[in-house]
A and B are shown apart, each in its own frame.
Chain A
Amino acid sequence: QQPVQSPQAVILREGEDAVINCSSSKALYSVHWYRQKHGEAPVFLMILLKGGEQKGHEKISASFNEKKQQSSLYLTASQLSYSGTYFCGTSNNNDMRFGAGTRLTVKP
């Protein structure tokens, strides 16, 4: 079953912050986050493995609440280069399913 992402779309001005949420109805072993630019392949951002774990990539960080079966992606002081569609992927070992994506647009 696919995880559920929210919101579906976000429009920001440069320097603003955003949060993207990902939730699953099934117990999670891990949560992956990817970013896809228009017409390109998804690119890996980070993996979260443990409950409550937080990781960072530039000014992008994420948390994983294993108990609530949720993960959140935090984009701080957004840059134009952050524009794209963000996907979370959840897995029960070998079978990775992705959310429908959150389209993020950063404007000057």
Chain B
Amino acid sequence: NAGVTQTPKFQVLKTGQSMTLQCAQDMNHEYMSWYRQDPGMGLRLIHYSVGAGITDQGEVPNGYNVSRSTTEDFPLRLLSAAPSQTSVYFCASRRTGANSNQPQHFGDGTRLSIL
């Protein structure tokens, strides 16, 4: 099983460029989310979705957009990249369940550097 697939694995951008980080899962999970991981900061939630057509903001949403047109895909868009967005980005998915009683499955991450 592929699980959660993120592309690309590495990317270097210049300040002001835009790009989309791709995330796809083949487990038919309703819930998907994006985190960024910076040294000493743990995983911080950017955006999440509880199903197709539904998205919501996490704790650090500024500078990022998301959409959820299908159950499988949850792309993350950087509209105008800034050096502060240099980070490792993880996509995760899980089945929905009362009170978050389902484990999250993480992709392998995208390492993004913005110059």
Chain A interface residues toward B at CB < 8 A = 2, 5, 29-30, 32, 34, 40-44, 47, 49, 87, 89, 91, 93-101
Chain B: interface size category? 20 to 34
- The verdict on B53 contacting chain A, using a C-beta distance below 8 Å, is no
Chain B interface residues toward A at CB < 8 A = 31, 33, 35, 40-45, 48, 50, 56, 58-59, 90, 98-109
Pair B109/A95 contact, Cβ less than 8 Å: no
Pair B106/A41 contact, Cβ less than 8 Å: yes
B103 contacts which of A44, A95, A98, A99 (Cβ < 8 Å)?
Answer: A44
Pair B45/A91 contact, Cβ less than 8 Å: no
- Which of A41, A91, A97 has the most chain B CB atoms inside 10 A of its CB? A41
Q: Which residues of B contact A89 (CB under 8 A)?
A: 43, 104
